[in-house]
Structure formats: structure tokens, C-alpha cells
Amino acid sequence: MSEPLSQADAGKFAAARGAVDLVEDGMKLGLGTGSTANWMVRALAARVAREGLSLTCVPTSTRTGDLARALGLRVVTLDEAGWLDLTIDGADEFDPALNLIKGGGGAHLQEKIVAAASNRMVVITDPSKDVAQLGAFPLPVEITPFGKGVTSKLIDKVLETAAVGARSSRLRMQGDAPFVTDEGNHIVDLALARIDAPADLAAALLQIPGVVETGLFLGLCDAVVIGHPDGRVETRRADGSAPVLARVDPAEAAALPAA
């Protein structure tokens, strides 16, 4: 007998299961990275097996690609797929305008490329990621290994005049060594407390030689699917239309293929 889901996992499953209902036969899909995206890949694989859907999937990280292949999904590169119909991904924060902070899992460069190559980006999340203003979650900034010390200092210099609530930065570590992304880069995490002007901050950071990409996803998200532990699902759209409410059965999670 399977263990009951934690409150957090029940919410993640509800969001993932709700978003998978948006998938149509023949679609080219971007598959996100992270714990909520893992639930989505599992729910998607279950639906493909149940309904015989023909899908082409582009993962946003090596680990998502490995999971999708293991569960029988057809996985190709973005260049092989070309333009995508839909990307489903998680987020670390989202604000009322559906601007996002992503990159807690270190995959935001590939995630942003895939999202930009999609007709729609749908974010799956739980209520804890819903914020009035971005910035409580540390902002990831991907940088090249070459000159990482100098690049970090230039980031700190930008923060001196940025409209933010705090100005702390640190190189992300994995054990005793710097964290390395799928692209072979490093990440500097910025503890900012709040970000008053996200577009200005993103533009200033991207002007720094050595900065590859930031975790600010501005104007890319079309809808957010929020899952609650009791199975309630709320979909908010960037166009300002009324939220769409639905419900899924959390017990369905027990029947999903293992991650």
C-alpha cells in the first residue's frame, strides 16, 4: 500500500494533473524541470499510455529528459522539434502579472529558451509560490566559469544601485565545488528580499560580460495552474480573465508510473 502524499506533494500533483489536461494529441511539448515538473512528466506518461497520444517532447534539463525517456515518452532536441505548441514548467515565485523567478533547480537557461520557443507557457505550482512582489526567493544568475570572480563583482556593483530590498550574493555550491549547470556554467544566487523593477534589473544584469541568463521570466508565462492539497485546481491567465476552477482526485497519484 502506497504512502499518503504529503500536503506539498498533493498540491504539486494537483497542479501537474490539471495542466496535463491541456495537452492535445499531436502536440510538441516543452517539459520543465523540478519537483512539480516531475509529477507532470509522470502524469503525462500515464495519459499517453492510457489514451495513445502521439507527442513530441523537448526536456529542459538532462534529468527531465532521462525521466521522460524512462517513462516511454518520445524525446527530441529543441532543434529537432522546431517550434513548440506548449511548455509546462514549474516556478519558484510568480507575481500577479505572472512574472516569474525560476532557476532553483539550476535549469533556467534551457527553461527560458524552451519557453521562448513555445506558443504558450503554462506554469504549475502550489499556493506557496504566489507572491505580491518577486524577490523573496533568491534570484539565480547563470555565469560563465571563466572570470567568475570578476563577473560576481560586477553583479555586486549592479546591485549597489538596483531597486531591491537587499544586496547579498553567493556562488551556488554543490558540496565543496561550484554547482555546474547542464551548459557547464555556474550560478550566483542573489538574496534581494524584493525586486521593485524586475525588467530594469534583468536588463542591467544581462549587460555584464560573463552573465549568460537570469532567472527572471518576464512576459513569458501565459497561465499559472495552482494545485491545492485537497485536489482543487485554480488556473489564472495573464490576460486577466476570471480564474478557472477544477478539481482532481489526489488518490490518482498512486497509479502514476514511478519516477
Identified catalytic residue from 3, 24, 93, 111: 111
Query: DSSP letter string over the chain?
Result: -PPPPPHHHHHHHHHHHHHHTT--TT-EEEE--SHHHHHHHHHHHHHHHHH----EEEESSHHHHHHHHHTT--B--HHHH-SEEEEEE--SEE-TT--EE--TTS-HHHHHHHHHTEEEEEEEE-GGGB-SSTTSSPEEEEE-STTHHHHHHHHHHHHHTSSBS--EEEE-EETTEE---TTS-EEEEEE-S-BS-HHHHHHHHHTSTTEEEESEE-S---EEEEE-TTSEEEEEETT-PPPEEEE--GGGGGGSPP-
Could you give the CA distance from residue 202 to residue 124 in angstroms, rounded to a whole number? Answer: 23
Query: φ and ψ at 35, to 5 degrees?
Result: -65, -40
**Does residue 213 carry a catalytic annotation?**
no
Contacts of 232 (CB under 8 A, 6+ apart): 14, 245, 246, 247
- For residue 89, the cross-strand partners are 123
What are the catalytic residues? 111
